[in-house]
Structures are given as C-alpha cells and as structure tokens.
Chain A
Amino acid sequence: MVTKMTFLERLRGGDLMVSDGATGTNLQDRGLERGKSGEAWVFERPEEIVRLHIDFIQAGSDIILTCTFGANCMRAGKEIAAGSVEELNRRAVKLAREAVGDLPVFVAGSMGPLGQLIKPLGTLTVEEAYAAYLQQAKALVEGGVDLLLVETQFDIAEASTAVKAAKAAGSLPVVCSFSYDRGTRTMMGTNPAKMAEAIVPLGVDALGINCGRSLEENLKALKELKTVSSLPVWFKPNAGLPQVDASGNTSYSVTPQEMGALAAEWLASGAQVAGGCCGTSPQHLAQIAKTVKGK
C-alpha cells in the first residue's frame, strides 16, 4: 500500500492541487432557504452537506472545505441552537471526513471573518477575536482536519489574529487567504504586498486569494502577490459577479467551460491550488480540475 502524502508534502513538492467550489451557492440550489446560513444544515440536513462534498470530490477536488465559514461564536448565533460552537465545527469535519472516506483528499477547516472590526476601527478587542478564532480552530483540529484555512480576510489585524490562533490550536498547516473586493485592495485598503509583509512572518504555509470581485481583478491580485512572495498560492475566485432576481435566486455569469479555460492562466500566473468561490458549481469545478490535472 502506498502511504498517502500529506498536504504539506504535496504543497512543498510543488504539486498542483484542486480545492473545491462554493458552499453557500450550491446549498441554496439544493434548497437551503434564503436567510439561512449553510452551517445550519450541518445539524438539520447533514446528508446534503456530505452530498455536496462528494460532488466536489467526484468533480476532482483534492481538498474540500468544511462547512464552517461562519462557525465562530460571533456569527453562528442561530445555527448552534442544537449544540455548541465546538460541536458545530466537529460535526462539520465529521461530514467532510465521511465524504472523503479512504480517498486521498484533504479536509481544510474553513475559518471566515468574525463580521466585526477590531479596535480602534471597530469595537472588538484583539483578545476577543483571538479567543473566538482559537475556539473554532481547536474544535476543527479535534474534529480531524488536515489543514486550517483562514479565508476571505480583509483586515491585517484580524487575519494576523486568526493565523496566530490557528497556529496555536495545533501543529497543522495554515493557509491564509484574503478577499480583494476593491480591485487589488481589500476594503481596508490592503494590497497583496502589505498582506504578505504582515502574514508571511507568522509562519503560514501558503497565501491565498479568494472571493473578491471579478475574475480579471482576482488574476491581477494573483500576479501582484507572486511578485512579493515565494510561498505557494491558493486561488479560489468567484465565478464572476452574482446576479440576483427579486425572489433571491442567484446566478453567476461565468460558465463552467469559461472558468475551466481561465484556470490555465491562473496556473501560468503562479497559482498552485485552484478552485472557485461563490457561484462555483461542481460543473465549474470539474472544468477547473480538468485544466489543473491536464497539466
């Protein structure tokens, strides 16, 4: 039997890998009510979460993300009625593990922003933010993830705090990904260079770009990031911009074929892990995987 390589071994070996697609958009397509977060289904419809993970794995994912983006004590208010924040995170990991089975697919523990700004711009203290992230990271580690993913970040103070908590929660690899939703800057004005300057010294294993605005702008941010850091890059852009009708049905303008074709340029520009954020269906992901694995 061949021993499975770890995420870090594959990352450091320069292997190209495929992450997954959108969680929220796809769960909505499968009936998640408007106004409800995906985390609620970890308790209510766990079979749907597993199903989506399996769909991504079958589409070619080497890494799937737990359904825990907002599973921290600041955001997961109603979703944890059936248990604690820890329980929500552990269960979500279990669902991902169930989907993976014996396959050589890694489970990344997703940790999104807390939704509040840190002092002095906001009201949250660094200590409070650290405690919230540490609680989530520890539960994800206990649950058995292969790596921790601090994602969709926009503020250096918050992201640094999250990375420190992720590192303190265990000895797993940590990836930190920012969302540049004002072109190649985050809403706080942070560009890839400033991000790298602050985050690389914290000892992350890869830097990432996810969500953001258009595919063109995300690609520009990727190119900028490659000029300032030699760390592996995780790249998970939206499938274009969302169009929403009055009933709240969301559609994304970029087709799976278009996304797959664009992925070639992501790799050429230095992305090592590729996938998609909002709007990325398993069909989109399959096309991305085809491009990545055809290399």
Chain B
Amino acid sequence: MEPLLKEIYDSIINANQIVTAAKVKEALEKGFGPGMILNEAMVPGMAEVGRLFEEGEYFVPEMLISARAMQAGMTVLKPSMVAANLKAVGKVVAGTVKGDLHDIGKNLVCMMLEGAAFEIIDLGSDVAPDRFVETVKQTGANMIVMSALLTTTMPNMKATIEALKVAGLRDKVKVMVGGAPLTTKYANDIGADGYAPDASRAVALAKTLAAG
C-alpha cells in the first residue's frame, strides 16, 4: 500500500478523525483519485475495524469512533467523488421496525455501510411497513435493512416484506435483517435475502447482495 494510503487506513483503525481528514485532503492534493482513496484505504480500514470487532478485540465504542473517522474522511472526499462521478455501491433504506425503539445496532450498521461506500437513507426507529415501501418508491433504493431487538417486534419484519410484495417492489430490493433475537433461520422463514449477526458482517452481506 502507498505510504499515504496506509496512513489513512491506519487513522481509521486508530479512530483519529483529524488525521483521517487531513490525510485524505493531502492525498487528493497529491493526485490520488477519490476512488482509489476510498477503495484502497478507507473501505479496507473499516473492514479491518469490523474484523477486530468480530474477533472481540474491538467493541461498540471503538467501532463508533472509527466510523466517525471514516465519516470525517468521507466529508473531505465527497466533492471529488461527485466530480469524478463515482457512484455508491448501493442505495440502502434502513430502519428499526415498527414498535421497536432500539436504534443503537441499526445506527452501527448504517455507519459501517456508509464506510463501505453505500448510500444510506436512515428512517430511524419505529418504522412502519408502509414507510419502508414509500421510501423505496421515492428514492429508488435497491436494499432495505431492518433491525429489531425485541421478539415482540420481529414479526413486523415479515409484515414489511409482505407490504413490499403487495406494492410489487419485492423483486426490486434486497432485504437484510438483523438484531439480537434473530437467526438465519428466521430470516429465511420470513423470506428475507439475508441475516447478519453484527454490523461488520452486515457489510459483507450487503456487498454480496449488491453484487448479486
């Protein structure tokens, strides 16, 4: 890896947002393309953060502050991305399902997906099936990410998938689900396209789904 790109990569893993922003700026000035900075330094940096989380080395706080460094870098990078006509990997509508107010996990997933160059439309918590459907219609999103922390609210994931079918949109979007009480089996049973146990694996899954 180019030393400057390595510095950006490290600054994300070490969650130093000031360094990330400064180094991204420096890289742009030195003629590195925004796609290269994003895909060869920043995205791999967040992927490493995700790996450290999966291995129990990092926890939620480390992940959150690394995601902030990523965001600081993205802020600097965005104008150049627009200028270079770089598109997001996918457009994602995210939300915690109806009746459920837990959004810590969902926020983490959003940050990690943003770090992996997805465009995020975050609807927050307590999101009714119709709102997911409407947002997909309006934005042309190609993915829905739903979260539920309660066994009592999980059935609203199924309700949302049903609502997508009724609206004729089920084939247009990939549906990912997650949350503490969920399992792969549950995701299959309700007809989702995939389940991820944590934010890091949600990114890997989203990439697979976006590619398929």
Interface residues of A (CB under 8 A from B): 24-25, 28, 32-37, 75, 77, 115-117, 121-122, 181-183, 185-189, 242-248, 250
Contact = CB atoms under 8 A, between A and B. Distances in A.
Given A35-B99, A244-B183, A188 B61 contact: yes
B60 A189 contact: yes
B181 A242 contact: yes
Contacts of B104: 115-117, 122
A37 B101 CA distance: 11
27 contacts: A24-B150, A24-B151, A24-B152, A28-B151, A28-B152, A32-B152, A34-B99, A36-B152, A37-B150, A116-B103, A121-B65, A181-B180, A186-B59, A187-B60, A189-B58, A189-B60, A189-B61, A242-B151, A243-B183, A243-B185, A244-B182, A245-B186, A245-B189, A246-B189, A246-B190, A248-B151, A250-B181
Contact of A244 (B62, B98, B103, B186): B186
A115 B61 contact: no
Contact of B56 (A35, A182, A244, A248): A182
Given A77-B126, A182-B59, A246-B186, 6 more contacts: A34-B156, A35-B99, A77-B101, A115-B103, A187-B60, A243-B183
B101 A244 contact: no
B64 to A, nearest CB: 5
Interface in B57-113: 58-62, 64-65, 98-104
Nearest to A114: B101
Given A116-B104, A182-B56, A185-B56, A35 B153 contact: yes
B6 interface: no
B154 A34 contact: yes
B170 interface: no
Interface of B: 56, 58-62, 64-65, 98-104, 126, 150-156, 158, 180-183, 185-186, 189-190
Contacts of B98: 35
Nearest to A190: B59
State the majority secondary structure of interface residues on A.
Answer: loop
A183 B61 contact: no
A245 B185 CA distance: 8
A247 B155 contact: yes
Contacts of B60: 121, 187-189
Contact of B101 (A32, A115, A183, A189): A115
Contacts of B62: 189
A279 to B, nearest CB: 10
Contact of B152 (A121, A181, A183, A248): A248
B163 to A, nearest CB: 15
Nearest to A75: B101
Contacts of A248: 151-152, 154-155, 158
B158 A246 contact: yes
A186 B76 CA distance: 34
3 shortest interchain CB distances as A-B pairs: A189-B59, A35-B99, A246-B189
A165 B101 CA distance: 23
Contacts of B58: 189
A121 B56 CA distance: 19
Contacts of A117: 104
A250 B99 contact: no
A121 B61 contact: yes
Given A35-B99, A115-B101, A183 B151 contact: no
Contacts of A185: 56, 59
A25 B152 CA distance: 9
A51 to B, nearest CB: 19
A122 B60 CA distance: 11
A51 B2 CA distance: 67
Nearest to A242: B181
Given A24-B152, A115-B102, A183 B183 contact: no
Nearest to B65: A121
